[in-house]
Structure 1
Amino acid sequence: MIETFRGAPVEEFGVALGGAALHPVRISEPGAIVRGVIIHGPGDPEPDPDQFALCTTPEAGIPSCVAIAVRESQAAKAMVGARQETAVFVAPDDARWSDIYDRVKLVLRDSFGQLAAHDAFQLADALAAALGGAVAIEDASRRVVAFSAIPGQPVDDVRRQGILDRAVPEHVEREAWYARLWRSTGVAEFTDGRESTARLAVAVRAGDEPLGSIWVVGSRETLNPGADEILRRSAEVVATCLAHQDHFASSGRRTRGHLVRQLLDRPESAGRALGYALPGPTVLVAFSRGEQDGDHELLDARLSDVLSLQSQRFQGYGLAAVIDGRVYALLPDTGRVRLDAQLRAVLSRRAPAGDQTGKGTIAVSDPVDRLEDLSRTRRQLDRLLALRARIGGEAIPGDIVHVDDERDTLLLSEVADATCDIEALQSGTALRITEYDGEHDTAYLATLRAWFDAGGDVAAAAARLHVHANTFRYRMGRASALFGLRLDQPDERLLLHLQMRLADFG
């Protein structure tokens, strides 16, 4: 089983490398595994049979490998000279072997990355069978990467909760466990605790850098003989798995991040250059934690991964990435009710203790049909999130706001930005009323706001302020006298109300 970590089926190269650079002319044994690539020349020793040999001079001898590549002009001789079970690939005569070597290596790495998570679970099962106890594989952040599922092996609440949350629950006892584990150079044993049974663990490292750990429920007395040696030997394979998982997750995030940034910054030209088009009606979603939540780059990266994976798996397409400290996602327009449910499910999903994944505000755009509308749509969402942040208050898990519900507020915000240099609007009557209220502890501005909000209905405005209608009329009269208001004049009413509303965006 461990060998599945080190190779790719030979037919996979036929698909991935087909075209001008390298194409297959014979694949006799589909399923044969390629585990490495070499450039083979005259006088070189015979390579291992599981190698992909790039033969620079096939007339000097064709190695007995699972696959070979030759120049197009040498293909006929190579087909005759190679073993029947050897896959034969052909490269153009002017192709560089170093470029082909890099492409084959890339296919090997990609295959490894795609299988890493799946194989981690296979490895956990294999270890559990060999050790005689339930196994969990964790990364350096104590997230459960994989766990065994062998029937009949005893488990405790710590393991059960770790699997449900996909992360080890925090506890003083377990803090001591990890402190001891990271100091150890071999297998560490932990005795029964208040909430846990005994277990063995080994740290997984790349040099001195911790990558994660392997845990097995049980003691040296209850586990199979040689448990220590099995754990020590498995650490190297798990290190490879964890390293590749991190590499390919990071690589995928960088790729998505580059694409999303290009599409949001200059969508029309980027769409042409990258060959990308919206597959159907799409919404742009932006998620912001707010400054009070601090720096959560890892959490945002995980959120973008989940949004991308979930939308691709269930709706067929989707793209999410962290751009400038904010998560943006292009998601299929599945309708407001369904989309909100999807977003809330992602954000409210249980996470490690102390994880703030679900806290923050999500802004959702109107449906977008054209790439060229994405820049404007992003600016709209950024403005909406900025307005929500200005309101203040603690972020609410799954707080979703739609552009369609805030259209008037967004327009007023744009008007405020566009008129910020018009002094008469910034220092007019509304400002004088605000200053007067501050100096005399009065509420004339609030009275006028209530009157405007009620459309001039005195009874309704008085109810808003919880005062008698006569009291309200008196305040309105005093405000008109103090500030020279002529509220019977439509233009004056409009300008006064506009000054008060624009002040909310200052």
Structure 2
Amino acid sequence: MRKASSTKVDPRGPTLSELVERVGDDAWLVHRAQDERVQSIVLREPGQLEERIPPHAVLLAVGYRNGDPSFAELVARAGEARAAGVIAKPASIDAAEFGALGRLHDVTTVLARDSSDWLQLASLLKSAAALSATDSIAGARLGDLFTFANAVASMTGGATSIVDPTGRVLGFSNLPGQPIDQQRRDATLLMSEIDSPAADPDYRTV
């Protein structure tokens, strides 16, 4: 089981409800509690209930099966920790039950599409927190950069990341048959390449 991961965002950034509005159709609000500013995005799997939940964290509930009692406990612990919210998929819990848990424990609950990739969603949320709803590069919407990366990956037959000259990851592909290796996973969660493209002599000649 991989260790829970987190990505820091600006503590003065928007609330979870505002982030959900910015990522478009990838996620939708189920219950809005007393919103707090998002300070981190954390992947949480079954079996990690004893791990500390940072205040103002958004928990991505990864790998929970519908009816798993530990899911309700995760939401309860999120409320106790004053987390910004919990994001799950319909395969893990239905909207009515998820909303009821949110109201019971006073925590914002959000559903993401079953087809969504958790790492892509984490990146979208982090980008939405750091940037405005419209990306500053060529006026492209944040989600469109991931769509473009998938299009390039489909044409070239290889996994694709869109990176600016400073090494900041703007989007990446997520196609079947193109698994994410550990180096790419780390860069995605950090939203930054370990080695800046600007330091690559081949990149400088393009």
TM-score by length of structure 1 reads: 0.21
Which structure carries more relative contact order (alpha carbon 8 Å, separation 6+)? Answer: 2
